[in-house]
Amino acid sequence: MEHPITLPYWLFILLVLSALVMVLDRILLPGMRWYLHRRVNRVIEEVNTRLDIEIRPFQLTRKQALIDQLIFDDKVVAAIKDYALEHNMPSEVAQAKAVKYAEEIAPSFNAYIYFRFGYWIAKKIGRLLYRVRVGFYDDNQLKAISEGSSVVFVMNHRSNMDYILVSFLVAEKTALSYAVGEWARIWPLQTLIKSMGAFFVRRNSRNSLYRRVLERYVNLSTRAGVCQAVFLEGGLTRDGKTREPRLGFMDYMLRDYHPDIDRDIVFVPVGINYDRVIEDKSLIRRLDPQAEKRSTWFVIKTSVRFFLKTLMMKRKARWRRFGYASVNFGKPVSARKYCAHNQIDFSQLDQDTRFHCIQNLADTLMHEIEQVVPVLPVSLMSEIILHNQQHWQSELELKSQAMNRIQQLQQAGAPIDISASACEHVLTAALDMLVGRGFVDLQQGLYQAKSDSVLELSYYANSIVHWHNTHVTELE
């Protein structure tokens, strides 16, 4: 006589789940991986036919292979030994730390996500908020760069929107690899960012082992020809002016650079400016050392409220509120030509001399960036209003001074693209924006800067402060 076998419910459910996992692992997942891999390969083949700078094999390397390449790099191995001795720990523990750092840094680039999803969402967000303009862009400049060169876009850093704006504007030219701060290391954002080729950086870390792993990744990716985007200032400007360049990344790229045998490194200056920087008040607030730090909950709540409120606006209202966002591309600077002209070989210099030479190159690049930072209507009107902050002035007087200023800037070669036919309309919109944001008082048709908004007006005027010496007597 047969006796039925009874199982507890929990054991039966566990067996069913195990069977489902086995079916997924052995049948469904391999087929899905094959299907997705095929789609990715199709995207790579398609975009490589139209990109000026092709996706490099290094970018398509599996993440684990990149980690292994970093961990077994000679300089990282030496750093692991030194770190273990310095901290009196076994080499295995130091190596485990290096593996953790490599996993944190190494991206997992996915061409499908970058060009299908990332490009689409960056384009939508950019155009949702701003009238996006690209100026002084000469296609021949990128096309004239030799095919095997490593291209590095060096930019000023005004907003976290910079990542989004530049990514979709150059997506028809190349795939960019960004260094992203720890602010983005939250799920699921970090997975998306890494799949788009970005890598995370602990910007103020003094850990020698971590810095060595980061250095070797930047050096290896540069030598492999990966197109990168670097904010030379190292962080967002808080007062609107460009900051002093940070030399770390450039040193990583150039300390082992041999101009005679290595591929050329070409730096492309990029200037970015906005009629309204979304986080302007938060950045200005950091200028006050006594200001209390905002809680994470406050930041999330404010961001969600801002996003929902923006979505509810009509397109015309959004553009009135946020105005223009503009990106200008400058003349490329070749590291090989720079070394030849200045008779420099960075790989042969001691640390102090090398940093001095890199400082000179960084200063040159920052100057080139400043020369292409767009002069936008709000920056222009902020400058005019600040020069007359003690006096009430009519709209006609302000516009007249602004038009004179435009002529001065154009004669000086500043990157300003305000046509004569649209000038009055554009300046009116800028004034309305400043009044609407509470930076400027309007009484009986006369305008004056509010005393408690001088910092905000200065923030926008400072984006073009490097053209200050072009003022004429009337504005002084």
Chain segment 32-85, per-residue pLDDT in tens? 555 555 565 565 565 556 566 777 878 778 888 999 999 999 999 999 999 999
For residue 135, what are its two tokens?
Answer: 């100026």
pLDDT-derived band at 475 (thresholds 50, 70, 90) equals: very low
Inter-residue long-range contacts of 361-364, CB under 8 Å, 24+ positions, other chains counted: 361/250, 361/254, 361/335, 362/232, 362/245, 362/247, 362/250, 363/245, 364/333, 364/338
Percentage of the chain beyond pLDDT 70 is 83
Are the CB atoms for 411 and 309 separated by under 8 Å?
no
pLDDT of residue 462: 94
pLDDT at residue 61, rounded to an integer: 81
Going by C-beta distance under 8 Å and a sequence separation of 6 or more, which residues neighbour residue 461?
240, 379, 382, 383, 386
CA 134/CA 136 separation, integer angstroms: 7
Q: Which amino acid is at 157?
A: H
Q: Which residue shows structure tokens 């000469």? A: 138
Res. 270: pLDDT tops 70: yes
pLDDT of 108 above 90: no
Q: How many other C-beta atoms lie within 10 A of the C-beta of residue 146?
A: 10
